Structure 1
Amino acid sequence: MKTFKMGLVLFLIAMSATAQNQYISDSLSIRKIYDMSLLNGKSYEWLDHLSNEIGGRLSGSYKAQQAVEYTKAQLEELGLDKVWLQPVMVPKWTRGEREFAFVQTGPGVTRNVNITALGGSIATPAGGTKAQVLEVQGIEQLAEYGRENIEGKIVFFNRPMRADLIHTFESYGGCVDQRYSGAKEAAKYGAVGVIVRSMNLRLDDFPHTGSMSYGDLPVKDRIPAAAISTNDAEYLSGMLKIQKDLEFSFKLSCEQHEDVQSYNVIGEITGSEFPEDIMVVGGHLDSWDIGDGAHDDGAGVVQSMEVLRLFREIGYTPKRTLRVVLFMNEENGLRGGNKYAEVAKSKGENHFFALESDSGGFTPRGFGITASKEQFESVLSWKKLFKPYLIHYFERGGGGADISPLNGGGTVLAGLRPDSQRYFDYHHAANDTFDKVNKRELELGAATMASLVYLVDKYGFEKPIQNTQEIAD
């Protein structure tokens, strides 16, 4: 019995020493990753070029093609094992001339309104669309008013993002349906146009665009749709309370074209031990055209590229194959994400892990992770390694739009979760520009992503080694 107890004690001591040595080794490796990103990073330089030398990168545009060529060249300079372009057909929609709108409260009495067409909208007639306005708080209210109150009018969707929700993406999700499907639903009641309050938590003069869909609505029945700024939404709503017969006029000249060919940009470091297991890091290369797309999603693009560069710089060769995928057409179609998953499936590729950054270049807080309970517990065992960097958010559920088609088959999906309180000030607006991105915050995000990938590569998602106290219990 004494021999057994002595053996157990020695076993526990050995296990504890192993766990401690692993912790020290991982801490040093992660420290090296953060040091390299903060002291010798490339992400901010890459983002500067994407934002200021190229600019808004709407799918199918010349600037989107410039971004493809630029990022491919930068990945080739990193000396990766393989860099290639994956063809994908994408929609091409153009905004045309600058939009114009005004509120008319009497003969010759007008006030200009800040407005932008929603992505995918048809144009107004050449002379614009002008009509009385019906304000609603959501799509569900259309049925309450009925055709008799809607026909011939412009529907004004004015449900704001909820300011009492801490998670701003939850607030966004609570009202984005009026932007995406509002025109389709209002047209069924005979509306002649739709204007939508911008998806923005603050009051300002920047209208926020975004994708919308007519679904299977016949072309002849489609109506123009645009967003107005939150300040103008407040003004219009206030005026409607005292003058219900005021008129709203807006002019759009956008156009939908035939699909064109574009590309996902892919770079790869082949795994040294398990090359058949693929880990993906990525963001979407396209953006809306009215800003630089710096936060959405230039930040995610350069952070993902930086993950592979950091591994090269610190001399770490991943055991599993590591790919960076810069997806095309997330904003108005998700064609890039779907194409990547389609090709991966056709080749029988095994995607072990996928991590996306598409929530802005703000201070990283942690990750949302879609995984089994056991896999998630493995990730939680690494939480203490992130504590020195103030990374504390590890929650089940998350990922990103572009990697979502990889869901299923055991693939663990993760999304970087930065502080989101400022994100919707810039999301899909003209002020999403390079100067709104903090260099240090961007670099911290890249290092945080690289650190998680390092741990996933080293340990997989097996049950973590326990410490002495956990074994004794």
Structure 2
Amino acid sequence: MDKSFKINSRLGKLNILILFLILFTGFIEVKAQSDDEKMLKAIYDTSLLNGKSYKWLDHLSNQIGGRLSGSYNAEKAVKYTKDELEELGLDKVWLQPVMVPKWVRGAKEFAYIESAPGNTTTVPICALGGSVATPAGGLKAEVVEVQNFDELATLGREKIQGKIVFYNRPMQADLIQTFRAYGGCVDQRYKGAEKAIQYGAVGVLVRSVNLRLDDLPHTGSMSYGDTPVSKRIPAAAISTNGAELLSSMLKLDPTTQFFFAQHCKQLKDVESYNVIGEIRGSTYPNKIMVVGGHLDSWDLGDGAHDDGAGVVQSMEVLRLFKETGYKPKHTIRVVLFMNEENGLRGGKKYAKVAKEKGENHVFALESDAGGFTPRGFSFDCSQENFKKVESWRKLFKPYLIHFFEKGGSGADIGPLKGDNVLCGLRPDSQRYFDHHHAANDTFEHVNKRELELGAATMTSLVYLFDKYEVIQSKKLEK
């Protein structure tokens, strides 16, 4: 047998081996995909046919209500969610103490526009979270309308002193990503009073951060910066219809006056809790994957979308794993954060304790964008991990989940940022700001099916990252 024949024979055997390996690898990949498809179907089926998220939300919203940090309702929510997590038979459930601010609204606010002595039109307002009260008899002054802080500076103290500054910059309606529109105008709510004080203003009105025209004022957090308490001025949100009316009347008569009375008060900090439960990992117990939302809410509504939905969806992730019989390789931990709305102290405390304990958080997922139809996720992660995510698109396609983009994650999990994956659930956001921080953020505005789809979508992503693992730097792996 000649030499060339032997070489060709060996090459032929090698090619057959390579072909076999390719076919075998392909078979393994197809089987893995088939297994994942079955698991996702089991997750979605269980959530839609035997879910608990809607029942939990019903109780949080209708039996407890708005859960402002430091309030009695917030205490009730802590107890309720801890009890429900314990009912799931998790490996561990506990409370993590955290000091939170206690701001109270007091009696309902009242306001009117006065075009002439005795000629008044009432308009809906609400105090911004953290604001001081007006004088006991209320506050009445002329109004200066501005769009931004640059315009405020241009007018200067001469034209602002002794007046109420009215910030009337609306959300940018042509932005499809409504959170970008929100980010483009929320500075006037948060820093508006601090800036206006510098020019001698006696009060602040802020157009509600809302895309539609309605009679619902939207509250939210605000800051005075380093301004001494004695120099702080009252700040309130005015409904979008009220803002349109006030702006029109100021154009007709710049001497138009505005009256408002609010009775809010900042009290001493009080102790509250993050509520935490976990399923211990079977293979990597010291690698922690977090799902969470914030348990506190504003007080005007019952906080169903912001963020009762995120709370119950996160709880449901652990329940769905137990119901489907899936045993995670990593420790899966649900964290219900306290005080996202006016301080972020729960998120900061959780990250601080995790660092002190040397815990390795490889993944964190937050739901804090409402209980609407899920569209996908945004990821704060390495390109390597994002490529992994993109390979899972076909698994989510049957559930109409298509949005996978790099970007932000969530406020409460932000302090955990490191060599890990942080991501946020991204529901359809077109109606979110109709309810955000307003009196109509209530249970009847949450669709049961949409809420349950969101819970299943979160669980599916956690399952995939648990199975295929987060790519971490070697130095951080444990």
Using the size of structure 2 for normalisation, the TM-score is 0.96
Residue 456 of structure 2 is aligned with which of 447, 451, 454? Answer: 447
Alpha-carbon distance in structure 2 between the residues aligned to 1:107 and 1:148: 25
Alpha-carbon distance in structure 2 between the residues aligned to 1:462 and 1:330: 29
Residue 421 of structure 1 is aligned with which of 401, 424, 430? Answer: 430
Matched position secondary structure for 1:140: helix
Q: Deviation of residue 462 (structure 1)? A: 5.0
List aligned pairs for 1:8-407, cutoff 5 A.
8-407=18-417
Could you report, residue by residue, the CA deviation over 1:75-105 in whole angstroms, capped at 9, with x for unpaired residues? 0000000000000000000000000000000
Alpha-carbon distance in structure 2 between the residues aligned to 1:404 and 1:136: 33
RMSD over aligned Cα atoms: 0.8
Question: What is the match of residue 4 of structure 2?
Answer: none
Unaligned stretches of 5+ residues in structure 1: 464-473
Task: Write the letter of the residue equivalent to 2:402.
Answer: H
Alpha-carbon distance in structure 1 between the residues aligned to 2:386 and 2:296: 31
Alpha-carbon distance in structure 2 between the residues aligned to 1:461 and 1:219: 47
> Does the 8 Å CA contact 1:365/1:419 hold for their aligned counterparts?
yes
Alpha-carbon distance in structure 2 between the residues aligned to 1:412 and 1:386: 19
> Does the 8 Å CA contact 1:367/1:393 hold for their aligned counterparts?
yes
Alpha-carbon distance in structure 1 between the residues aligned to 2:153 and 2:376: 42
Could you report, residue by residue, the CA deviation over 1:58-90 in whole angstroms, capped at 9, with x for unpaired residues? 000000000000000000000000000000000
Could you report, residue by residue, the CA deviation over 1:290-320 in whole angstroms, capped at 9, with x for unpaired residues? 0000000000000000000000000011000
Task: Write the letter of the residue equivalent to 1:415.
Answer: G
Question: What is the match of residue 468 of structure 1?
Answer: none
Matched position secondary structure for 2:318: helix
Greater gyration radius? 2
> Does the 8 Å CA contact 2:362/2:470 hold for their aligned counterparts?
no
Matched position secondary structure for 1:105: strand
Q: Deviation of residue 277 (structure 1)? A: 0.3
Task: Write the letter of the residue equivalent to 1:156.
Answer: F
Percent identity of equivalent pairs: 69
Alpha-carbon distance in structure 2 between the residues aligned to 1:366 and 1:107: 55
Could you report, residue by residue, the CA deviation over 1:253-312 in whole angstroms, capped at 9, with x for unpaired residues? 000000000000000100000000000000000000000000000000000000000000
Using the size of structure 1 for normalisation, the TM-score is 0.97
Q: Does 1:456 align with 2:458?
A: no
Matched position secondary structure for 2:299: coil
Task: Write the letter of the residue equivalent to 1:458.
Answer: K
Task: Write the letter of the residue equivalent to 2:401.
Answer: I
Unaligned stretches of 5+ residues in structure 2: 1-10, 473-478
Aligned pairs, number: 462
Could you report, residue by residue, the CA deviation over 1:397-454 in whole angstroms, capped at 9, with x for unpaired residues? 121000000001x121010000000000000000000000000000000000000000
Alpha-carbon distance in structure 2 between the residues aligned to 1:138 and 1:251: 25
Q: Which runs of 4+ in 1 moved over 4 A?
A: none
Question: What is the match of residue 469 of structure 1?
Answer: none
Matched position secondary structure for 2:149: coil
Task: Write the letter of the residue equivalent to 1:399.
Answer: S
Alpha-carbon distance in structure 2 between the residues aligned to 1:139 and 1:404: 28
Could you report, residue by residue, the CA deviation over 1:105-138 in whole angstroms, capped at 9, with x for unpaired residues? 0111000010000000000000111000000001
